[in-house]
A = this chain, B = another copy of it.
Amino acid sequence: MLQTTPVTIEQTPNPPDVCSAPPPRHPRPDGQDSYTISEVVAFTGLTAHTLRWYERIGLMSHIDRSHTGQRRYSNRDLDWLDLVGKLRLTGMPVADMVRYAELVREGENTFRERYELLEATRRDVRARIAELQDTLAVLDRKINFYADATGVRYHEAEGTAR
């Protein structure tokens, strides 16, 4: 129950059918979904500090509490954290994610704005991927050079760093 390895919530042991709407699998079924903070730490790889901080800054709404005041996360919270994790690795600033969270809390009349925010993000992500592929090409060339050179003692000019 208390696994220590950070695990992506949305694992991919789903069949090799390349389909478009993979529903996230949860550790426990809806109805019994009540996770302590340390369980969420184990599932997400985030620290408890970070989880509490996310809540403080409004990136997560107030989490349900046990009768003793301890946090009890739900499957929906896990889904949200999964999205946050994805947005985080696009480089989206936390402030923007908070903005999105506010829009979600405000209800359906913010659909248009959410749409625009996500669309802008998608553009950024695409640009980012393109940049990275560019970088990959440069790395490939340099790596090939060094692969040839180590063992052949050869020289090619490269950017200065003397």
**How far is the CB of A110 from the nearest CB of chain B, in Å?**
10
B125 & A136 in contact (Cβ 8 Å cutoff) = yes
Point out residues on A near B: beta carbons under 8 Å.
Answer: 20-21, 60-61, 74, 76-77, 79-83, 86-87, 89-90, 100-101, 104-105, 108, 111-112, 114-115, 118-119, 121-122, 125-126, 128-129, 131-143, 146-147, 149-150, 153, 155, 157-162
- Chain B residues lying within 8 Å of A76, measured Cβ to Cβ, are 157, 159-160
- Chain B residues lying within 8 Å of A118, measured Cβ to Cβ, are 139, 142-143, 146
Overall SS of chain A's interface: helix
A140 & B122 in contact (Cβ 8 Å cutoff) = yes
| CB-CB under 8 A for A108 and B155, given A125-B136, A135-B125 | yes
**How far is the CB of A150 from the nearest CB of chain B, in Å?**
5
**How far is the CB of A108 from the nearest CB of chain B, in Å?**
7
B90 & A146 in contact (Cβ 8 Å cutoff) = no
- Chain B residues lying within 8 Å of A125, measured Cβ to Cβ, are 132, 135-136, 139
| CB-CB under 8 A for A161 and B60, given A112-B150, A115-B150, A125-B139 | yes
A159 & B82 in contact (Cβ 8 Å cutoff) = yes
The residue in A115, A141, A155 that gathers the most chain B C-beta atoms within 10 A of its C-beta is A115
**How far is the CB of A37 from the nearest CB of chain B, in Å?**
16
| CB-CB under 8 A for A111 and B150, given A129-B129, A131-B89, A140-B122 | yes
- Chain B residues lying within 8 Å of A105, measured Cβ to Cβ, are 161-162
